[in-house]
Amino acid sequence: MAELLRVTTEGLYCEAGDFFIDPWRPVARAVITHGHADHARGGCASYLASVDGLPVLRARLGADAPISTVAYGETVQLNGVHISLHPAGHILGSAQVRVEHKGDVWVASGDYKNGSDPTCLAMEPVRCRVFISESTFGLPIYRWNHDDIVRSEILDWWTECKNTGRVALLLGYSLGKAQRLLAMVGHDGPGPIVEHAAVASMTKAYREAGVALPQTRVAGEGMPEGGWAGSLVLAPPSVQGTPWIRKFGEISTAFASGWMQVRGARRRQGFDRGFVVSDHADWPGLLEVIAATGAERVLATHGQVAVLSRYLSEKGIDAGPLATRWSGETDGTESEPAP
Amino acid sequence: MKAFSTLYRTLDGSKRTNQKIAALVAYFRDCPPADAAWAIHFLSGRRIKLGVRRADIKAWAAQEADIPQWLFDESYNAVGDLAETINLIVPAGKETLGHGLTWWIEERLMPLVGATPDQQRCLLVESWKQLDPSGRFLWNKLLTGAFRVGVSRGLITRAVSEALSAPMARVEERLMGPWVPGPGLLAQLGDAASAADPASPRPFFLASPLQDKITDLGPCNEWQAEWKWDGIRCQAVRRGRRAYLWSRGEELVTEQFPEIARQVERLCHDCIIDGEIVARRDGSILPFHELQKRLGRSVVPKRILREIPVALIAYDLLEQDGTDFRDLPLSQRRGHLEELVRPVAGDQIMISPIVEGDWSELEFQRSQAAQNFAEGLMLKRKTSPYRSGRVRGDWWKWKVDPYVIDAVLVQSRRGSGRRAGVFTDHTFAVWKNGVLVPVASAYSGLTDAEMKELNAIIKNSGLEQFGPVRTVKPEHVFELAFEGVSRSARHRSGVALRFPRISRWRRDKVAAEADHFPALEAMITKTPIIKREITGELFPDWPGCGTDPTNQ
Ligand SMILES: [Zn+2]
Ligand SMILES: [Zn+2]
């Protein structure tokens, strides 16, 4: 059977339908899985994305970008190829791309997680013959706790900061992670929530899309009444070690990321605390989703490619690497490691 | 185990000394005495040899996690720590046992000693199921001998003395001696009545590097000058015709230097002598790395005994026949020392020679230290008592190269071209507020054999790698020598070292014993750097000496 999707110099390409998925160079037709910078790049002549993610994509690609949208599950036809988008549970509007041609079904996962997230629809595994799966956290050391546990860890830390007169600086990717953290802490926090401008613009897009988030203020608007101490400041990790954080006085710095699972990663980067919150599937999550797709062939990308391929091969699945240039997540203009 | 986990979290997470001490005091006061003893045991860096093979631990963990061995190994490579890998991979049990630290050590670790692999496996698997996550992490650390936390012995001493309301000096002295963990330990450390083991050493008096001008020390005749030897500091204790040799790390090194022990036994009195052990052959002191061949083995092979003869250079007498001499002035102690040692003085024990002269003569002598196989001079105030610890003012080390620190290797970079594949460029760090801060890169100074060994260690270190740069587990300590320190905005640490080089591998030290940042700050050039004068007379054998060697 011919390869329905293959990697070219521009990106993941469907020849039969003449379109790309998350291309890294400008192309005529691009299907976009989600708004993270290594997936949604500017300059294409036309884009197709989920309607849920439109405000985010507009914030990223510009108000004039030629974006068409479909609802999850709705099918678009291109040269006899059926394309549909399905929730990936990664961030608001994130989608898996299902591609069907002459009875052959492929699914490109984009980034996904199958845990809970109040800011986006839950991931829906889609039956297919070939599944292109991300593998960011494809090692058995990565197992996420339930959100409730992390939520109370964060609230406890914030309360402790407040009691000791410090600012709780919580670092996380400005698109997706920050809004999920906001929704997690909700209105239960012991103080005001302050956002870095990069976070605030994404939060605005989430609110426009109808996601309910607690009240926040932008750091640039000035100090809250009663000073910064006791507030929770949400900012991208790139602010670490920059003058921007000086105005807050005494801070405790925490990073919310799947990488915080490993103690050494936390210590080397000098964080006071690490909260294990990821928008990618953990090891059991990857295996669960892959099983649920019923795929006979799995192409791994984005992370622990070799490990996941080998493990699946030993379990009797035809698995191998999908060569790509996606090497990790970047978040807008900030240079950040994968979340 | 909960209380110990909480203590560990505070010690590990806090950068504030006061917070650490408060946590320790609270723990020592509230926990059962046996738990406190074990905590002191492990916090002060002691281990238990359990005799469980690492390969077995890895295999059992993989089986418990129901994953193939290669996947466990991949995970271990990503984490870089066996205890943590197990913790993250092996599924937790349904119910946890609430026992204390002592139970988990005495019922679950000690029985591993001498057990068959099957029995060991049972104990491990059961324990992994019954410990809560943070307790399991610590238990695994104790199991794998990798338990480490940023607490100095001084801090433990302070906390114990505070918890017991006992004088620090007493606690410090008792902690130095031989003790075993047990419910009675705390009482033994603090109780005025219980005498410390008589064969134990006294707290060492440590010299500080001299940074002021020599003439600021006052009249020269108030000082006693001796050579500063590049050896192992040692207290030789003689009790009832038996000798005990103690290193500064409170380790008993009697077995490593049997010929010295025999001579100490031949002394006419019970006593405690302070001195330096050096390797010495045909009247010449050998480099430190030769001496190190005597260390780290339980039995020194005959060949090494023959090839690397050693000597104790005695310079102080702390006690004789039960009488404490430490409050006597140095000049009197020296008199007693000479009287005591003279009858047996020879190739194995010698009295540290006094270097005579006024300040300018001493300055000249110091510049010739290398000729005498010494690192410089020691200056000791003749009226000074034998103090405990590093107390400034009475003992100064006046090294030829005053700029030396002990730093931890944290990162290595591969060379390029001919040196590709070999780690040639190393980054070193010192402690600052509980974390290691890189302060210098150095690439020279190791012997070929040491280079080879270090390369193998780095390759197997398994921590993250960016291009040619490899993060190294911070556990190897090196002495760096350099020409000066200055403030620098360009360096993350805020200081720049001039011409840093590796002067030796401190295998006798663990990372926690490396220097602290303030030590470097204190070196920021107060005195002009004294140039080593190289004259024709000093190096008669140097061809073309007297002219600029680079012109030849
Ligand atoms: Zn993403
Ligand atoms: Zn991505």
Strand partners, B281: B284
Task: Answer yes or no: do B88 and A262 touch at CB < 8 A.
Answer: yes
Burial B495-518 (b: 16+ CB within 10 A, else e): bbbeebbbbbbbebbbbbbbbebe
Please report the ipTM that was assigned to this predicted complex. Answer: 0.91
CB A339 within 8 A of CB A172: yes
> CA A268 to CA B276: how far, in whole Å?
38
**Which pLDDT belongs to residue B551?**
30
Using a CB-CB distance cutoff of 8 angstroms, which residues of chain B are in contact with residue A311? 68, 71
User: Between β-strands A232-235 and A318-321, what pairing exists: parallel, antiparallel or unpaired?
Assistant: unpaired
Residue A193 CB neighbours (<10 A): 23
Nearest Cα of chain A lies from the Cα of B421 at a distance, in angstroms, of: 24
Which tens digits make up the pLDDT trace of B47-79? 888 889 999 999 999 999 999 999 999 999 989
Which tens digits make up the pLDDT trace of A252-278? 999 999 999 998 888 777 788 999 999
Res. B482: pLDDT tops 60: yes
Residue A335 CB neighbours (<10 A): 10
Residue A273: closest CA among A256, A286, A298, A289: A256
Which tens digits make up the pLDDT trace of A79-120? 999 999 999 999 999 999 999 999 999 999 999 999 889 999
Using a CB-CB distance cutoff of 8 angstroms, which residues of chain B are in contact with residue A164? none
Comparing CB atoms, the residue among B88, B435, B471 nearest residue A261 is B88
Q: How far is CA B102 from each of CA A249, B20, B93, B106, rounded to the nearest angstrom?
A: 43, 22, 21, 6
Task: Answer yes or no: do A264 and B79 touch at CB < 8 A.
Answer: yes
Task: Answer yes or no: do B84 and A262 touch at CB < 8 A.
Answer: yes
**Which pLDDT belongs to residue B539?**
27
| Top-confidence residue, B504 or A130 | A130
Task: Answer yes or no: do A140 and B68 touch at CB < 8 A.
Answer: no
Distance A302 CA to ligand 2 centre (A): 7
Distance A328 CA to ligand 1 centre (A): 9
Q: Which long-range contacts does B8-11 make (Cβ < 8 Å, 24+ apart)?
A: B8/B134, B8/B138, B8/B149, B9/B134, B11/B43, B11/B149, B11/B150, B11/B151
**Which pLDDT belongs to residue B396?**
93
Across B129-265, the runs of DSSP E, i.e. the strands, are 205-206, 208-209, 223-229, 232-239, 242-247
Looking at chain A, which residues constitute the CATH 3.40.50.10890 domain(s)?
147-275
What is the H or E stretch that residue B377 is in?
strand B374-381
Average pLDDT over residues B514-522: 86
Enter the CATH code of domain B205-401+534-546: 3.30.470.30
Here the tokens at position B122 are: 């049972």
Residue B541 CB neighbours (<10 A): 5
What DSSP state is assigned to residue A191?
S
Enter the CATH code of domain B2-144: 1.10.3260.10
For chain B, give every domain's residue range: 2-144, 205-401+534-546, 403-521
Residue with tokens 């001299």: B210
Enter the CATH code of domain B403-521: 2.40.50.140
Res. B531: pLDDT tops 70: no
A147-275: CATH, from 3.40.50.10890, 3.40.50.980, 1.10.1740.10, 3.90.70.10: 3.40.50.10890
Which tens digits make up the pLDDT trace of A148-190? 999 999 999 999 999 999 999 999 999 999 999 999 998 888 9
Comparing CB atoms, the residue among A141, A268, A310 nearest residue B85 is A141
| Top-confidence residue, B336 or B441 | B336
Task: Answer yes or no: do B88 and A307 touch at CB < 8 A.
Answer: no
A interface toward B at CB cutoff 8 Å?
A: 139-143, 261-264, 267-268, 270, 272, 307, 310-311, 314
Nearest Cα of chain A lies from the Cα of B89 at a distance, in angstroms, of: 5
Using a CB-CB distance cutoff of 8 angstroms, which residues of chain A are in contact with residue B65? 140
Which tens digits make up the pLDDT trace of B248-291? 866 778 888 999 999 999 998 999 999 999 998 887 888 777 88
Looking at chain A, which residues constitute the CATH 3.60.15.10 domain(s)?
6-141+280-321
Residue A174: closest CA among A116, A102, A234: A234
A6-141+280-321: CATH, from 3.90.1150.10, 3.60.15.10, 1.10.8.10, 3.40.50.300: 3.60.15.10
Q: How far is CA A4 from the centre of its chain?
A: 26
**Which pLDDT belongs to residue A289?**
97
Distance A154 CA to ligand 2 centre (A): 25
